Amino acid sequence: MTTRRCHTVETCRPQPLSYTDLDHPMPDQPSAAPTTVDVAHFRRLFALCSETFIYDPLMRLEQAGLRQTMLCLVRMHQQARPFNDRALVRLPGSLQSDSALARMFALPGSLSETDRPLWPALRQWLHHELRRTKPRVLFTHFGPDGCLAAPVASHLGIPVVAHFYGYDLSRLLHQSGPAWVPRYRMLFRQAHALVATSNYLLDRLRHIGAPESKLYLNFPGIDLSRFSYQDPTLRFDGRRVDLIHVGRLTAKKCPLQLIEAFACARERLLPRLDLHLTLVGDGELRRACAARAQQLGVDTVVQLLGQQPPEEIPRLLRQHHLYTQYCRTAPNGDTEGIGLSFLEAAASGLPVITTRHNGIPDAVVHGHTGLLCGEDDADQFVEHLVHLASHPHCWRSFGQAGRRHVLKRFSAETQLQRNLGLVQSACAGRSPNGQPRQGPTRQGSLPAVVNS
Res 26: pLDDT: 32
How does residue 85 score in pLDDT terms, banded at 50, 70 and 90? Answer: low
Residue 259 CA to residue 243 CA, distance in Å, equals 11
> How distant is the alpha carbon of residue 444 from its chain centre?
35
Does the structure show a pLDDT above 90 at 275? yes
The residue among 117 and 199 whose pLDDT is bigger is 199
The residue among 370 and 117 whose pLDDT is bigger is 370
Question: Buried b / exposed e across 232-258, counting CB within 10 Å, b at 16+?
Answer: beeeeeeeebbbbbbbbbbbbbbbbbb
Which amino acid is residue 413, in one-letter code?
E
Lowest mean pLDDT among 16-25, 65-74, 136-145: 16-25
Summarize pLDDT for 302-356 with one digit per residue, the tens. 999 999 988 999 999 999 999 999 999 988 888 888 889 999 999 999 999 999 9
How does residue 162 score in pLDDT terms, banded at 50, 70 and 90? Answer: very high
> How distant is the alpha carbon of residue 274 from its chain centre?
35
Question: In the predicted model, what is the mean pLDDT of residues 230-237?
Answer: 97
Strand ranges (E), 340-402: 352-355, 370-373
Helix, strand, coil fractions of the chain, as percent rounded to 5: 45, 15, 45
SS3 81: coil
Return the closest-CA partner of residue 46 out of 37, 60, 59, 33. 59
Res 167: pLDDT: 87
Report the mean per-residue pLDDT for the chain: 83
Res 118: pLDDT: 74
Cis peptide before 271 (omega within 30 of 0): yes
Residue 84 CA to residue 68 CA, distance in Å, equals 7
| CA distances to 41, 60, 63, 400 from 420, in Å | 14, 10, 12, 29
Summarize pLDDT for 172-193 with one digit per residue, the tens. 888 877 888 999 999 999 999 9
Asked if 109 and 6 touch (Cβ cutoff 8 Å), the reply is no
How does residue 16 score in pLDDT terms, banded at 50, 70 and 90? Answer: very low
Res 433: pLDDT: 60
Model pTM score: 0.81
Res 80: pLDDT: 81
Map out the domains of the chain with their CATH numbers: 19-221+413-427 (3.40.50.2000), 232-409 (3.40.50.2000)
Residue 202 CA to residue 358 CA, distance in Å, equals 11
Percent of the chain with pLDDT over 70: 80
Res 335: pLDDT: 84
Residue 118 CA to residue 271 CA, distance in Å, equals 62
Return the closest-CA partner of residue 6 out of 65, 78, 59, 54. 78
How does residue 36 score in pLDDT terms, banded at 50, 70 and 90? Answer: low
Res 32: pLDDT: 43
Percent of the chain with pLDDT over 90: 64
Asked if 376 and 251 touch (Cβ cutoff 8 Å), the reply is no
Does the structure show a pLDDT above 70 at 12? no
Summarize pLDDT for 355-403 with one digit per residue, the tens. 999 999 999 999 999 999 999 999 999 999 999 999 999 999 999 999 9
DSSP 8-state code for residue 33: P
Res 440: pLDDT: 34
Res 241: pLDDT: 98
How does residue 52 score in pLDDT terms, banded at 50, 70 and 90? Answer: confident
Res 75: pLDDT: 80
Lowest mean pLDDT among 104-113, 198-207, 230-239: 104-113
The residue among 56 and 89 whose pLDDT is bigger is 56
Residue 116 CA to residue 119 CA, distance in Å, equals 5
Sheet with 370-373: list strands edge to edge: 302-306, 274-280, 240-246, 322-324, 352-355, 370-373
